[in-house]
Amino acid sequence: MPYDAIKELSTMVKGKILYQVPLSRYTALHVGGIADSMIYPANLTELQKIISFCRTEKVPYFILGRGSNLVIRDGGIRGIVIKLSQSFKKIKIVKEFGNHARLFVEAGVSLRRLFTYSESRGLSGVEFTSGIPGSLGGALAMNAGAQGREMKDITETLTLLTPRAALREKKRSALHFDYRRLHLPKGTVIVNASIRLKKHSTSTLLTREKSTPWRRQMQPLNLPSAGSVFKNPPGKSAGQLVEQAGLKGLLAGKAQISEKHGNFIVNRGGATARDVLSLMKIMQSRVYQETGIRLEKEVHVVGENE
């Protein structure tokens, strides 16, 4: 365990460092073992220093957003978990042109704040993110989307930090967005984005209240979850396939396939990653047996087995 190396790093950074961090507190599903350490870099220079240090000292690192699309295994995460939520929170309009505006948004900004900021300035284009409980960085990494719109539709450029700690600006045309995925080399950090929104009269603007009722109806928002567990296969709904396989409500330990939505696994209190992963296996094998369709994970499964 690179514990001494992490201690050494702590003398070089001003940002907060925590040790032996229970990751279940940092994931929407409330599962996940212990992280050796968690660092909140104080600024971009510090983030670069940390990435460069990890490379030379061979310390593994993991970027954690708001933990809303993650299953972290019960053995936790070795090395450093990097959180951008304290110092990467700037959001501002940098240019207005015609009926458009360009926003500069840092990776630690929550989608909720991005929505509220845009809504209060009469800007539209991010309504689809309403009710998605992620950070900008996580939403870009996942190419999060809803109602036929995705993060790629509003992205103009991204500032990335490469695993060699070099800063790169990439235009959308040079980025490879896919369904619930942005292809980036492993270890790349999304630092900020330039996004393009439309000016709107407030009367036609879709407000938070108007854009989320369908979620309350369809999704088990009263219990911890990680959102959709599997990607929708082309032309199909993963939730319906799980439901047709008769699996809704199935329990493994304290994890349960939601009775409300077949593609959500909920934590009924005290579930482990092992419980969640065993339900995921059952969902995949039963749907495959019955339909020949292989469900592909949407959630990222990371960390060590216990």
Ligand X SMILES: Cc1cc2nc3c(=O)[nH]c(=O)nc-3n(C[C@H](O)[C@H](O)[C@H](O)COP(=O)(O)OP(=O)(O)OC[C@H]3O[C@@H](n4cnc5c(N)ncnc54)[C@H](O)[C@@H]3O)c2cc1C
> What residues are labeled active site?
180, 228, 298
Q: 260: phi > 0 → left, psi -120 to 50 → alpha, else beta; which? A: alpha
* Binders of ligand X in range 191-220 (CB under 6 A): 219
Q: What is the DSSP letter of 127?
A: G
Indicate whether 137 belongs to the interface with ligand X (CB under 6 A): yes
Residue count of the chain, please give it. 306
Please answer whether residues 169 and 159 qualify as being in contact, where contact means their C-beta atoms are separated by less than 8 angstroms. yes
Query: Which of 2, 32, 33, 67 contacts ligand X by CB under 6 A?
Result: 67
Measure the CA–CA gap between 275 and 222, rounded to whole angstroms: 19
Indicate whether 303 belongs to the interface with ligand X (CB under 6 A): no
* Binders of ligand X in range 7-46 (CB under 6 A): 28
Measure the CA–CA gap between 81 and 261, rounded to whole angstroms: 31
Nearer to ligand X, 187 or 253 (CB): 187
Nearer to ligand X, 93 or 302 (CB): 302
Query: Which of 37, 135, 155, 256 contacts ligand X by CB under 6 A?
Result: 135
Going residue by residue from 226 to 255, which x/- string records binding to ligand X, judged by CB under 6 A? xx----------------------------
Burial of 228-261, coded b for 16+ CB within 10 Å and e otherwise, reads bbbbbeeeebbbebbbebebbebebebbbbbebb
Torsions phi, psi of 127, nearest 5? -55, -35
Nearer to ligand X, 199 or 297 (CB): 297
Positions touching ligand X (CB under 6 A) are 28, 62-70, 84, 107, 132-135, 137-139, 141-142, 144-146, 180, 189-190, 219, 221, 225-227, 300
